[in-house]
């Protein structure tokens, strides 16, 4: 029997992606969680593929004003504010002033915003988290949702934050201490081909590859914080996905929450920015 490329990819999906459960959260439980959680916004990177847009104006890429007057970081803050979150911390370094000038103390957006500045040089997302924990802008006794603002959530049906936390709480009951939000797959950026004995049997433009991909959003419980001083050296630039995720996966302490791939837009270059503008 000849298996099509789509059927082969569906088989792959069944092999590697089995979605977990979520907790039911009533409004009182939700209010308690949001009070005891900080949303950390990763806004310190150089955004090298954005430099022609951002650097001439001394902007961090998340503060670049879109044609509709919005910015990526404000969109993310409003999403969490609308879900009930009040406390935020921006983890900043490159062109940090543009983020601070844009957001201020958060009162304009109806939230509280603190700042944690990388020490002297970029330390990556792992170091930025360790630094924020050590300076107290992420309290050691509160949960934390880490969101890269350039990972935009678009056209999500439902309450993204509440759904991610509901999965996180289900994971906690199973001994997990962190939850990675993933897309259920992403489009392959090229022409996919099925090849048999050297002969191209089938082609498909931008096939959907059903490998779960981290969307730049992670929910941490306080139990996860002890890993940061042990794993991340503030003299180096290290992202926690590279070091912490493999360890938590090995220890069976990392849960997941999946969203449709179409709801995730990583804005890493001008082409993706144009797609975001078109979507908005």
Percent of the chain with pLDDT over 70: 95
Element (H, E) at 33: helix 27-35
pLDDT digits (tens, 9 = 90+) for 105-121: 999 999 999 999 998 88
- CA-nearest of 93, 94, 131, 89 to 106 is 89
Position 60 confidence tier, pLDDT thresholds 50, 70, 90: confident
Do residues 189 and 178 touch, judged by C-beta distance below 8 A? no
* CATH for the 5-11+26-279 domain, from 3.90.550.10, 3.30.465.10, 3.90.105.10, 3.40.50.300: 3.90.550.10
Do residues 164 and 179 touch, judged by C-beta distance below 8 A? yes
pLDDT digits (tens, 9 = 90+) for 88-100: 999 999 888 999 9
pLDDT digits (tens, 9 = 90+) for 205-225: 999 999 999 999 999 999 999
Region 222-236 average pLDDT: 95
Which strands, in side-by-side order, build the sheet including 112-117? 112-117, 87-92, 37-43, 143-147, 213-220, 178-183, 254-259
User: In angstroms, how far apart are the furthest CA atoms of the chain?
Assistant: 64
Q: Report in angstroms the alpha-carbon separations of 98 from 30, 81, 95, 239, 274.
A: 33, 21, 6, 23, 21
The phi-psi region of residue 206 (left if phi > 0; otherwise alpha if psi is between -120 and 50; otherwise beta) is: left
Residue with tokens 């001994």: 175
pLDDT digits (tens, 9 = 90+) for 141-172: 999 999 999 999 999 999 999 999 999 999 99
d(CA 118, CA 113): 16
Helices (H) and strands (E) in the chain, counts: 10, 13
> What's the whole-number average pLDDT of the chain?
92
pLDDT digits (tens, 9 = 90+) for 251-279: 999 999 999 999 999 998 888 888 898 98
Residue-level length of the chain: 280
d(CA 152, CA 41): 12
């Amino acid at each position: 029997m000849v298996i099509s490329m789509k059927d082969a990819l569906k088989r792959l999906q069944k092999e590697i992606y089995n979605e977990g459960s979520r907790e039911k959260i009533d409004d009182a439980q939700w209010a308690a969680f949001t009070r005891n959680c900080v949303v950390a916004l990763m806004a310190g990177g150089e955004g090298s593929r954005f430099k022609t847009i951002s650097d001439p104006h001394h902007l961090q890429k998340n503060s670049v004003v879109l044609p509709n007057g919005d910015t990526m970081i404000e969109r993310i803050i409003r999403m969490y504010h609308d879900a009930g979150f009040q406390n935020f911390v921006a983890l900043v370094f490159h062109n940090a002033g543009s983020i601070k000038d844009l957001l201020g103390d958060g009162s304009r957006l109806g939230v509280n915003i603190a700042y944690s500045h990388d020490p002297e040089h970029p330390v990556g997302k792992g170091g930025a988290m360790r630094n924020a924990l050590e300076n107290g802008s992420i309290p050691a006794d509160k949960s934390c949702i880490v969101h890269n603002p350039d990972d935009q959530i678009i056209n999500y049906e439902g309450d993204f934050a509440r759904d991610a936390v509901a999965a996180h709480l289900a994971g906690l009951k199973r001994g997990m201490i962190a939850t990675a939000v993933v897309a259920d797959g992403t489009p392959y950026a090229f022409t996919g081909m099925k090849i048999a004995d050297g002969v191209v049997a089938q082609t498909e433009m931008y096939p959907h590859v059903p490998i779960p991909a981290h969307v730049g959003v992670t929910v941490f419980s306080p139990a996860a914080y002890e890993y940061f001083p042990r794993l991340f050296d503030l003299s180096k630039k290290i992202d926690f996905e590279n070091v912490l995720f493999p360890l938590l996966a090995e220890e069976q302490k990392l849960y997941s929450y999946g969203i449709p791939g179409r709801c995730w837009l990583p804005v890493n270059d001008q082409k993706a920015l144009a797609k975001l503008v078109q979507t908005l």
